[in-house]
Structure 1
Amino acid sequence: MDSPTAPPAPQPDDKDWTWVLDVPCPDCGYDAAAVPAAEIGERIRAHVPTWTAALAAPDAAARPSPQVWSVLEYSCHVRDVHLIFGRRLAAMLTQDDPLFDNWDQDATAVAERYWTQDPITVSAALAAAAWDTADRFAAVGDGEWIRTGRRSNGSVFTVRTVGLYYLHDLVHHAHDIAS
């Protein structure tokens, strides 16, 4: 956290993770098919205590190895995931088939200096962003789950599948910090 220079960058994650919508994730066990759309909001909220507890640990800013993010860095990423998916959901509900802005998570980590951020501040911001986005998903009406949006690589999502995809990110990163 005190380092003014960026720590070594982890291997960039350039996988297209949309396959988790079709098959369970072998790493974290997430199974999108087992999640009813109406539960997405509550499941987002259920992850908040994992992150607030992890950020309260005295070693939250310590990397387990040089090229693996610390709990703090993962938490900054998860905070930003909540914000990004909140904006994507809002666009899907108010626009016809919006094209999502591209998001380079690795560039964001460096630009926002994740390793220098204050764990208490991150914890509060992560919780607020999670609750806000969870509330948005909880308010989705029956006929809105099929509204669409597109990622810059051409992947097409419905409100339901974007929620399930987003939820995988939370489950997977909770698994990452527990490993």
Structure 2
Amino acid sequence: MRFTLVAGAGLAVALSAGIAQAQSGADDPERNWAAIARCAAIGSAAQRHACMDDVVRRAGVLDPVRVAQAERQDFGREARAEAPRPPARSAPTPAPAPVPVVDEIATTVRGVRTVGFQRLRVTTAEGSVWEQTQAEDFPTGPRIGDAFVIERTTLGGYRCRFGRSSRYYCQRMD
């Protein structure tokens, strides 16, 4: 608990300089610092992080493109970060549209090999590794540069498809 408070306070101090520089005269740095201090006093880590995200979003420091790239990079990982909750108080300015949830990734094959009986392990262009979970025979295997699509299914599963193959169940291995 003490480490969390110290880490939260350190984060607040580190972000305060960037937030103060990002202001365009409409908001003053003292008000932003007061908002950061209020966030640091929140006991729940998830609520505290959501509060900090709100402060940096209003200051124009949190880039929605960077948030979307992080979501794409973490697609398929089991330990997904919890989406930030909206702040408890209403913001004076309208909040930007939320980043849409990614349900499908289209990429290309960077590497492929077999693991076990009729099971594939595919490495994507971004470096994520996806392994086939059920044995299945394909007329032709994937080749480097082939299109590779990963889609989210119900109950937290994933289905992969390369080229014009049928879809098969897969899981992220990295």
Provide the TM-score with structure 2 as the length reference: 0.26
Point out the structure with max Rg over C-alpha: 2
Q: Comparing both structures, which one devotes a greater share of its residues to helix? A: 1
Provide the TM-score with structure 1 as the length reference: 0.25
Q: Comparing both structures, which one devotes a greater share of its residues to strand? A: 2
